[in-house]
Amino acid sequence: QYDTNMWGDRNTMVHLFEWKWNDIADECERFLQHKGYGGVQVSPVNENAIVTSGTYRPWWERYQPISYNLVTRSGNEEEFASMVRRCNNVGVRIYVDVVFNHMTGNSGTVYGTGGSIGYSDSKYYPAVPYGSNDFNSDCGITNYNDAINVRNCELVGLRDLNQGSTYVRTTILAFLNKLINKLINLGVAGFRVDAAKHMWPGDLEVIYAGLNNLNTDHGFASGARPYIFQEVIDLGGEAVSFSEYTHLGAVTEFKFSAEIGRVFHGYDQLTWLSNWGEGWGFMASQYAFVFVDNHDNQRGHGAGGSNILTYKNAKQYKMAIAFMLAHPYGSTRVMSSFYFDDTEAGPPADSNGNIISPGINADDTCSNGWVCEHRWRQIYNMVGFKNAVKGTGLNDWWSNGAQQIAFCRGGSGFVAFTNGGTIAQTMQTCLPAGTYCDVISALIAGDYNLNTDHGFASGARPYIFQEVIDLGGEAVSFSEYTH
């Protein structure tokens, strides 16, 4: 299902990678709702194996499930439930990264973030429970030209569940449906399906069909279905194609990430963006789930290599994000990271491995090791732009034939980019005559509007009352001030 279930005036999600549930709830209320973010992708919610590597716990331990209990370094079940409630209350939806292709790696007895134990060598996970007959055989994935190998063998040694088994399907569904509306009245809006490429579309179809409707108690329309976006890395030339998954839900378009990085690195000319989207060999827009970088490829995992732009290349990165949010192609996600040098290192944590909350500075940026790209002015203002132009197409494309472009979104928005030199050009902006705010720098009239953070309507102006003593019969009259 392709509808994100966001509120009508919003259409972008942010991945708050490795954030704690209580911090996300605060962020929904104090920032995301006001800037027009429609949802948050959260890190996996179910219990994972604790992995210790030198002085830290790698971020990727969360991709090694040990049970479906809702206890991770981000928080417990009560904290998760409270976050979902608080975010839904302010119109910010929650999308859960669900990992059910596999369990932990094969590394003997493993211990979980909620106290569970697993026996990875014998494929016994008593806290689910799963036993060895719920898994595919021990083979490793070695041949991406062979779909059976890709789907029935172990991805980097991770114990590979057999989703063809009725028991495995039922167990996965109990976990997913709990997140939708069971037990403590949760209300998530959808799922990122991790490693979908490594599962059979036919098995996923059965699992998706068994999902409950969304929880009307959290404001979803009656009969609304969970939004599904499936992680399928397909840059072409392999046995498994994205097209096997598009009838089931949205699919990650990794070509978008790799190509937009190439272009804004300057390896290609902006003028060639005139047919961005399907014209570049991407999947049809209605299926495409797009992003400039994700938690894998920003650090050299996953696909895209050195083409990928990240926060480390801030100026080019902001331009790529602005282009993604200005252009109508695909369903968009903004990445929000923690700083890293070591590509395996986990989020900011104390010596006991507890995640440290982001600090919030007076200028809206973050501290304590968190990058918070979603709080960069150019990025959140473009989230607002995308909301404002929702439903319009792309028109009045202009380019100088090289590194400068501009275009309109219907009659509601106009944007220009240069990746080389100042633009000196008279252009059709498509907007009704008037004085406009530059939403990227946002340093014009908008800055003197009232603070929406304090509950004022967006664009509200300060109330002014002027002290003019006028009892009549003097040179100065009240009437000179009323306008």
CA distances from 192 to 241, 280, 350 (A): 18, 25, 29
Told to check if 198 binds Ca ion by CB under 5 A, we report: yes
* Count of residues that interact with ligand LM2, criterion CB under 6 A: 16
**Number of C-beta neighbours around residue 455 at 10 A:** 9
Indicate which single residue of 12, 43, 64, 88 sits in contact with ligand LM2 (rule: CB under 6 A). 64
Q: What is the CA radius of gyration of the chain?
A: 25
Length of the chain: 483
| Distance in Å, CB of 392 to Ca ion, minimum | 41
For tokens 């999600």, the residue is: 13
| Distance in Å, CB of 318 to ligand LM2, minimum | 24
Cα separation, 229 vs 325, in Å, equals 18
Q: How many CA atoms lie within 13 A of 445 on its CB side?
A: 9
Indicate which single residue of 25, 32, 70, 99 sits in contact with ligand LM2 (rule: CB under 6 A). 99
Indicate which single residue of 7, 21, 60, 245 sits in contact with ligand LM2 (rule: CB under 6 A). 60
Told to check if 323 binds ligand LM2 by CB under 6 A, we report: no
Indicate which single residue of 139, 156, 284, 476 sits in contact with ligand LM2 (rule: CB under 6 A). 156
Q: For residue 268, indicate whether it is catalytic.
A: no
Output b/e per residue, 374-400; b: 16+ Cβ within 10 A: bbbbbbbbbbbbbbebbeeebeeebbb
Q: For residue 231, indicate whether it is catalytic.
A: yes
| Distance in Å, CB of 417 to ligand LM2, minimum | 30
Please identify which of the residues 61, 160, 194, 373 carries the catalytic annotation: 194
With CB under 5 to 8 Å by kind, the binding choice for 225 among Ca ion, ligand LM2, none is: none
> With respect to ligand LM2, which residue has the nearer C-beta, 64 or 403?
64
Q: In the range 390-449, which residues lie near Ca ion by CB under 5 A?
A: none
Q: Strand (E) positions, 83-178?
A: 93-98, 102-105, 109-111, 117-119, 158-160
Cβ(192)–Cβ(98) below 8 Å: yes
Indicate which single residue of 160, 194, 203, 234 sits in contact with ligand LM2 (rule: CB under 6 A). 194
Indicate which single residue of 18, 61, 134, 160 sits in contact with Ca ion (rule: CB under 5 A). 160
Where residue 348 falls (left for φ over 0; alpha for ψ -120 to 50; beta otherwise) is beta
Told to check if 42 binds ligand LM2 by CB under 6 A, we report: no
Q: In the range 52-91, which residues lie near Ca ion by CB under 5 A?
A: none
**Number of C-beta neighbours around residue 370 at 10 A:** 25
DSSP-derived 3-state class of residue 126 = coil
> With respect to ligand LM2, which residue has the nearer C-beta, 54 or 432?
54
| Distance in Å, CB of 260 to ligand LM2, minimum | 19
List residues near ligand LM2 by CB under 6 A.
60-61, 63-64, 99, 105, 107, 155-158, 194-195, 231, 296, 301
Catalytic positions are 194, 231
